[in-house]
Amino acid sequence: MSNNKDLFEYLVRLGDNSLILGQRLAEWCGKAPVLEEELALMNVGLDLVGQARLLLDYAGKVEGKGRDEDALAFHRDAQAWRNLLLVEQPNGDFAKTMARQFFFDCFQYVQFEALCSSADQTLSEIAVKSLKEITYHRRHSSDWVIRLGDGTEESHERMQTAINELWGFTPEMFDMDAVDDAMAKAGIGVDTASLQEKWDAMVDAVLEEATLVRPEVTWSVRGSKVGKHSEHLGYILAEMQFLPRAYPDAKW
């Protein structure tokens, strides 16, 4: 693939992660345990959507086929999406939402921290801006993992269950393919495999404080880099894409 095709694919992966997780968090509107936490979740979701807009807008310009951020968000079928399987998983209870958020926040933190030094100036600028938000996201989800894990017997059980159920989705974050290799070699992207040790240390420190047990890796799922997803993504896109597909001339 050419450098432009590799860069487009790389940007779409980053943008899709943020957009799908932002959409998932929006589902908590009106349902969060307390008003303060509802506002926090909505703010995190808006941050993620903002990141997605920047990344998909840049991806469209790199592609050069006239697709803008809206076209990429609302007019791609599920097989064309490249988000991690982790972020499309259902919210479940509050503990599961926080476990999912925590795993992704730690990954996105180490990833975007490295992307701040990207040889691509635009991507570097997006990473620098986003890292400020991601730092808050990681602190917020970490605090909840600790609070629930080291809380009541029920909250501890729920958080441990959530950690166990989602653990198999985390290995995919560190997979590398030809696109990742090309972007890392060009100094644009990140060798995500090299980030796992830092992610492990970050996650283990929180789990220990939360009195939670790190699960054994007995299963894992993959496929997002080639458009393979769980059934959940189709439902997310059906809701998210309905209006612009049904009313293509609608103006926001």
Q: H or E element: which one contains 35?
A: helix 35-63
pLDDT at 181 > cutoff 60: yes
pLDDT at 65 > cutoff 90: yes
Terminal CA-to-CA distance of the chain, rounded, Å?
35
- In contact, 221 and 168? CB cutoff 8 Å: yes
Q: H or E element: which one contains 96?
A: helix 94-115
pLDDT at 2 > cutoff 60: no
Name which residue leads in pLDDT, 35 or 19.
Answer: 19
pLDDT tens, residue by residue, 111-122: 999 999 999 999
DSSP 8-state assignment for residue 214: P
pLDDT at 7 > cutoff 90: yes
The token duo for 219 is: 């299963």
| CATH 3.40.190.10 is right for the domain spanning 3-246 | no
Among residues 138, 251, 166, 159, the alpha carbon closest in space to that of 210 is found at 159
User: What confidence score (pLDDT) does residue 154 get?
Assistant: 98
User: What confidence score (pLDDT) does residue 1 get?
Assistant: 40
For 234, residues 6+ apart whose C-beta sits below 8 A from its C-beta are: 78
In whole angstroms, give the CA distance from residue 27 to residue 103: 19
pLDDT at 82 > cutoff 80: yes
Ordered by start, the domain boundaries in the chain are 3-246
User: What confidence score (pLDDT) does residue 32 get?
Assistant: 86
User: What confidence score (pLDDT) does residue 252 get?
Assistant: 61
pLDDT at 69 > cutoff 60: yes
pLDDT tens, residue by residue, 144-178: 999 999 999 999 999 999 999 999 999 999 999 99
